[in-house]
Structure 1
Amino acid sequence: MAESPLARAREASPGSDADASGSPARLRIDARDDRVVATLDRPDRRNAIDQAMVDELHALCADLEERPRTLILTGAGGIFAAGADIAQLRDRTGDDARRGINATVFDRIRRLPMPVVAAVDGFALGGGAELAYAADIRLGTPRVRFGNPEPGLGIIAAAGASWRLPEIVGHARASELLLTARVIDADEALAWGLLSSIHEPQDLLDSAHAVADRIAVNSARATILTKRALLAPRNAHPAIDGELQAELFDSADKYARMTAFLERKKR
């Protein structure tokens, strides 16, 4: 059997702490039949996103594109991600910016076939916030702090915040956060719809798994096509909905699920 892209990532299996070259892994992976939990794990850098982590995220995406499953993203040590690695950002050039190093992988995460759930604890700042914005569903703890401090560092939030955040919280609120670099807490994030719910830190991952459990009982294909419809541009609707529904209407899974529903009602 061919080795999967995930097996070639730095953290190819639970319990490994380095890649073949001996470099510390940036992700801890718990791969299951219907979901994958990926934990950002750079405790010495508050889970800052560097090039090695980007590479591992690409490998993870390749695996989830090949074998779709729900992805739960979280961070180790009570922090989601304190941002991109500033030491690397300082040395990047205009050509690096045009490559969209973080933006490309975050967009790939956003477009994974199955849902992405971000379980956010502590700081989600800069690139860490933009990674969370790329998720379909975000859960948090009372310790959550979201913010985009990029203008204070002489740059912009260019990995999705300028267009993805307005889609989540609205243009006015996104403008306030991105133009002032203000940091908001969990209660404000919940009120704005940036978080779906708040849980105590010890319950956060279980709550993310509960969301994955609810996804898992549904038709995987219907879930994939629902996400595809959600990501489609406005001018693609309603035509795309009809095409996606047509595929499902002709599926054996739809017939079996509806038959089972009708039979339960008869009891």
Structure 2
Amino acid sequence: MAGVARARLIQLQSVLRPAILGRVNTPSYTSCVSLAARQMSSAPAFEHLLVEKRGEANNVGLITLNRPKALNALFDPLMVEVNQAMKQLEEDPTIAAIVLTGSEKAFAAGADIKQMQNKEYVECFGSNFLEHWNGVTKIKKPVIAAVNGYALGGGCELAMMCDIILAGEKAKFGQPEIIIGTIPGAGGTQRLTRAIGKSRAMQMCLTGEMITAQQADAWGLVSSVHPPDQLVNEAIKLGEKIGKHSKLVVSMCKEAVNKSQELSLNEGLHFEKRMFHGTFATNDRKEGMTAFVEKRSPNFTDS
């Protein structure tokens, strides 16, 4: 057993080594937030991200994690920028959906271990370490993860924070925290269990083993699998398809689906019914039904 564990650790180190070794000291979260706040008013060029508009109508926001030397390892400055970029795209009325991706080699090969290595319990507890990494889950517009390459640890957790996951054929998912003496801390034990069931989540979390895109598809972790060079375009097409509908009603539907992960069946059905009733207070519900009866395309105004 010890030999197997050592082999897994070596495998994990070979993936994460660029994110572990040769790094300078990481700025504090407070300083990163302060920097982000100063940059907000000037529409900053991000240091660790590429942000652009894509699609025929330029209505899909594309956020690309851009730390290639570290295999897009997640750390506070990057996550501050992700939250900031997400918020900017959410507030942009021309954007209908957001795609989050990395490189063909790595979506994100885990959290930055060097940042965490010397932390103590009191510091983690007092600062609620990793809490602000959940910003993606607070976005009202649909967020699609386009996962190529490694999505390990925090990378897998970040993908699961998104609403839909599309995978490249060579993608690999895993929660290898157990190999380095800790457990997932950004949703790995919770979202993974809800996505693929207790037994499979236990297997991934307790062994630290990676699964392929094909396994992830069969287990229900991802929606579909695509050739790596076509993945981002497929995610953008999906965003465009969603963008044909009312942004307001799409957000209401997203909220209802997310509530299914938190409420009992009876509570969830009640919430769904009230959200359904709520659509009858919107102009888009009236327009959608009228257009259907009149056999024409609807002209949604997101109101």
**TM-score in same-fold range (> 0.5):** yes
Give, in whole Å, the separation in 1 of the partners of 2:269 and 2:48: 41
- Report the CA distance shift for 1:229/1:96 in structure 2 as closer, same or farther (over 3 A): farther
Give, in whole Å, the separation in 2 of the partners of 1:210 and 1:11: 30
Secondary structure of 1:234's match? coil
Give, in whole Å, the separation in 1 of the partners of 2:119 and 2:78: 16
Asked whether the equivalents of residues 6 and 12 of structure 1 are also in contact (C-alpha less than 8 Å), the reply is: no
Secondary structure of 2:294's match? helix
Secondary structure of 1:264's match? coil
2:75 is aligned, of 30, 50, 69, to 50
1:234 is aligned, of 254, 257, 263, to 263
* Paired position in structure 2 for 1:62: 87
1:6 Cα deviation from its structure 2 partner:
9.7
In the comparison of the two structures, how many residue pairs are matched? 251
List aligned pairs for 1:1-267, cutoff 5 A: 8=39, 12=43, 16=45, 25-31=47-53, 34-67=59-92, 69-98=96-125, 99-106=127-134, 108-232=135-259, 233-235=262-264, 236-264=267-295
Give, in whole Å, the separation in 2 of the partners of 1:143 and 1:89: 29
1:238 Cα deviation from its structure 2 partner:
2.5
Unaligned runs of 5+ in 1: 20-24
Secondary structure of 2:151's match? strand
Secondary structure of 2:106's match? coil
* Paired position in structure 2 for 1:22: none
1:31 Cα deviation from its structure 2 partner:
3.7
Secondary structure of 1:76's match? coil
Asked whether the equivalents of residues 9 and 60 of structure 1 are also in contact (C-alpha less than 8 Å), the reply is: no
Deviations along 1:212-233, whole A, 9 cap, x unmatched? 0111011111110111111223
Asked whether the equivalents of residues 101 and 145 of structure 2 are also in contact (C-alpha less than 8 Å), the reply is: yes
Normalised to the residue count of structure 2, the TM-score between the two structures is 0.76
Give, in whole Å, the separation in 1 of the partners of 2:167 and 2:40: 27
Structure 2 residue identity aligned to 1:8: Q
Unaligned runs of 5+ in 2: 1-35, 297-303
1:100 Cα deviation from its structure 2 partner:
4.2
Secondary structure of 1:80's match? strand
- Report the CA distance shift for 1:11/1:210 in structure 2 as closer, same or farther (over 3 A): farther
Normalised to the residue count of structure 1, the TM-score between the two structures is 0.86
Secondary structure of 1:49's match? coil
How many percent identity over aligned positions? Answer: 32
Secondary structure of 1:139's match? strand
Give, in whole Å, the separation in 2 of the partners of 1:9 and 1:86: 28
- Report the CA distance shift for 1:143/1:10 in structure 2 as closer, same or farther (over 3 A): farther
Deviations along 1:226-245, whole A, 9 cap, x unmatched? 11111223243222223212
Deviations along 1:116-151, whole A, 9 cap, x unmatched? 100000000111111011111111111111111101
Structure 2 residue identity aligned to 1:43: P
- Report the CA distance shift for 1:215/1:148 in structure 2 as closer, same or farther (over 3 A): same
